[in-house]
């Protein structure tokens, strides 16, 4: 059975198309018994499987992926591996423990990625260059003040930036102000996720194009695929916004579809118009604002649309329409480069919860779920993967306590209310976005 016959949309566009094709691991076609099964090979599942392998060196860890690695959000994101999250609104003293907890989780993910990338020599353009947070309009400028105050109070290393300074460093006059946070890295997401999948420990067996269609929960869980059945003692679901039929979890995560474009490689004179930094990444201080990067290979990537599209990727027709929005945002920021064409156009679906938090849960004695990072899952997903592996193995360390301590995601209503609610919440994200779009 091919992916097209099932409900797993998967066309590859964007970051995956910028790099050589990767040969996927085989489909699972025979029945299996296993102690450990991880479902989903994005950042969460890959990290979880790797950690389980480390904790259980003499056991086989089975990792199932419905699509091919790189086709989900983990291969389609904008590549910001954050160390410090931005919380909108002013610093709240009573939230200090929560701020610290989230930063510890981000840091655990960043540290893990760094050590895997170094040890396994994964070439993924990983650069610990820090991250620019920018404001182009009124409400984001207020947010910038709040964020700088927050960074000062938390003693997180940062550098506030004026419009002139931004222009000098990045070659755009579009932003009124900003702040550069020293910690955090940029990465080519598809290269990273390919690298993580291709350097898994030898006791992890990855099967691709192998979707779980149903699961019966019991002392031993029975997991059904198109051509096989797995009997699994422990199951970790790392499948983000896609609930598994008959899985035990209530709907708390919904898929929101984002889109972006990537230019051709810029020539030297064009690169010289982009200020003094050799590559950089801008996150918007407005939740609906554009993320813009100058990549290591000298392309500009821009991502700004977000919508509820029934938790699906955009069609070619929808993508072409969205590219007009990317074009406008690009020309606003870089009028001197308006002749530069886009070469790639892509969408991706991120898992979002109603109250913008994550899910880390034991669903029954031998069934776990970790996911939903609201657009910030490279470091957090990696950390949650380690955390859920530790948790399921009975190692309740500080990371597990931190993951369990995250605010609980609210329950979401079933369809059709889900669709209406998700559509509305996504629209709200753009309130007051103005020039940040
Ligand atoms: C356009 C875009 C830009 C983003 N930018 C950033 C960014 O710059 N920085 C950042 O930190 N985060 C960013 N994110 C969010 C980040 O990509 C995600 O939070 C992260 O990739 C989630 O990882 P995951 O492993 O939990 O989920 P996924 O990557 O979605 O992986 C889940 C996997 O489970 C598989 N699966 C689902 N159901 C089944 C099943 N039944 N059987 C088998 N397999 C199944 C899926 O095929 C999928 O591969 C962005 C997201 C998008 C879409």
Cis peptide leading into 235, omega within 30 of 0?
no
Residue 331 lies in a domain: no
Ligand 1 contacts CB of residue 357 (under 6 A): no
pLDDT digits (tens, 9 = 90+) for 34-46: 999 999 999 999 9
Angstrom distance (rounded) from CA 208 to CA 216: 21
Ligand 1 contacts CB of residue 358 (under 6 A): no
Mean pLDDT of 69-94: 95
Ligand 1 contacts CB of residue 377 (under 6 A): yes
**Which residue's entry shows tokens 């299996």?**
32
Distance 160 CA to ligand 1 centre (A): 32
Does residue 118 carry a pLDDT above 70?
yes
Domain containing 230: what range? 3-76+191-253+357-412
Closest ligand 1 atom to 373 CA: 19
Under DSSP, is residue 202 helix (H, G, I), strand (E, B) or coil?
Answer: coil
Residue 280 lies in a domain: no
Question: From the CB of residue 30, how many other CB atoms can be counted at a distance below 10 Å?
Answer: 8
Pocket test of ligand 1: the residue of 48, 76, 81, 239 to mutate, having most ligand atoms within 8 Å of its CB, is: 239
Residue 363 lies in a domain: yes
pLDDT at 6: 58
What is the overall mean pLDDT for the chain?
95
Total domains present in the chain: 1
pLDDT band at 3 (very low <50, low <70, confident <90, very high): very low
pLDDT at 5: 47
Angstrom distance (rounded) from CA 368 to CA 234: 8
Q: Are 312 and 319 in contact (CB under 8 A)?
A: no
Tokens for 137, please give them: 């309009």
Angstrom distance (rounded) from CA 282 to CA 54: 36
Residue 367 lies in a domain: yes
Residue 329 lies in a domain: no
Residue 65 lies in a domain: yes
Q: Which residues pair with 173 in a beta bridge?
A: none
Tokens for 25, please give them: 């691991």
Distance 211 CA to ligand 1 centre (A): 15
Ligand 1 contacts CB of residue 171 (under 6 A): no
Ligand 1 contacts CB of residue 106 (under 6 A): no
Residue 334 lies in a domain: no
Mean pLDDT of 251-263: 94
pLDDT at 186: 98
In 3D, which of 120, 127, 128 has the Cα closest to residue 197? 120
pLDDT at 58: 97
pLDDT band at 55 (very low <50, low <70, confident <90, very high): very high
pLDDT at 247: 65
Give me the half-sphere count of Cα atoms (radius 13 Å) on the Cβ side of residue 66. Answer: 23
- Does the reported pTM lie above 0.95? yes
Residue 366 lies in a domain: yes
CATH code for position 219: 3.50.50.60
Closest ligand 1 atom to 40 CA: 34
């Amino acid at each position: 059975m091919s992916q097209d016959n099932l409900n797993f949309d998967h066309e590859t566009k964007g970051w995956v198309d910028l790099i050589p094709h990767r040969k996927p691991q085989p489909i699972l076609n025979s029945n299996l018994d296993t102690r450990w099964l991880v479902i989903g090979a994005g950042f969460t599942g890959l990290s979880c499987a790797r950690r389980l392998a480390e904790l259980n060196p003499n056991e086989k860890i089975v990792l199932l992926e419905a699509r091919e690695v790189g086709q989900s959000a983990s291969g389609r994101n904008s590549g910001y591996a954050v160390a410090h999250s931005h919380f909108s609104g002013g610093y709240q003293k009573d939230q200090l423990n929560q701020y610290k907890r989230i930063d510890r989780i981000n840091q655990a993910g960043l540290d893990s990625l760094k050590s895997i990338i170094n040890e396994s020599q994964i070439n993924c353009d990983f650069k610990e260059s820090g991250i620019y947070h920018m404001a182009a309009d009124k409400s984001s400028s207020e947010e910038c003040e709040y964020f700088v105050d927050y960074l000062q109070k938390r003693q997180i290393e940062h550098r506030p930036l004026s419009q002139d300074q931004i222009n000098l460093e990045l070659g755009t006059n579009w932003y009124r102000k900003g702040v550069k946070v020293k910690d955090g890295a940029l990465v080519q997401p598809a290269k990273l996720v390919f690298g993580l999948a291709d350097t898994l420990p030898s006791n992890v067996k990855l099967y691709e194009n192998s979707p779980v269609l149903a699961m019966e929960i019991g002392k031993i869980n029975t997991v059904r695929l198109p051509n096989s059945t797995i009997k699994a003692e422990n199951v970790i679901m790392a499948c983000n916004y896609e609930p598994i039929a008959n899985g035990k979890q209530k709907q708390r995560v919904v898929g929101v579809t984002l889109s972006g474009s990537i230019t051709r490689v810029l020539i030297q004179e064009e690169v010289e118009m982009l200020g003094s930094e050799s590559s950089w990444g801008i996150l918007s201080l407005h939740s609906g604002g554009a993320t813009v990067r100058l990549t290591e290979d000298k392309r500009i990537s821009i991502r700004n649309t977000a919508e509820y599209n029934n938790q699906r990727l955009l069609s070619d027709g929808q993508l072409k329409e969205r590219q007009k929005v990317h074009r406008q945002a690009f020309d606003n920021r870089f009028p001197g480069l308006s002749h530069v064409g886009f070469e790639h156009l892509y969408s991706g679906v991120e898992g979002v919860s109603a109250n913008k938090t994550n899910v880390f849960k034991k669903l029954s004695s031998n069934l776990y779920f970790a996911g939903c990072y609201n657009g910030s899952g490279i470091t957090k997903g990696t950390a949650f993967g380690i955390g859920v592996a530790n948790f399921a193995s009975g190692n309740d360390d500080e990371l597990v306590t931190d993951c369990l301590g995250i605010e609980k995601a609210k329950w979401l209503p079933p369809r059709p209310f889900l669709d209406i609610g998700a559509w509305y919440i996504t629209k709200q994200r753009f309130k007051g976005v103005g020039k940040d779009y």
